[in-house]
Amino acid sequence: MDNGMWSRWREALTRTLLAVTVSMSTGEFIEVQKLSHEDLRARFKLPASCDPSVTALNTDPTANQMTVAIECRARVAPFPPNGRREPRPAGKGS
Rounded to whole angstroms, how far apart are CA atoms 16 and 61?
Answer: 28
Q: How many residues does the chain have?
A: 94
Measure the CA–CA gap between 93 and 72, rounded to whole angstroms. Answer: 34
17-32 residue pLDDT tens? 667 888 999 899 999 9
Going from N- to C-terminal start, the domains of the chain cover 15-74
47 — pLDDT class (breaks 50, 70, 90)? confident
Residues with Cβ within 8 Å of residue 72, at least 6 apart in sequence: 16, 17, 18, 19, 46, 47, 49, 50, 51, 52, 53
Please give the model's pTM, rounded to 2 decimal places.
0.57
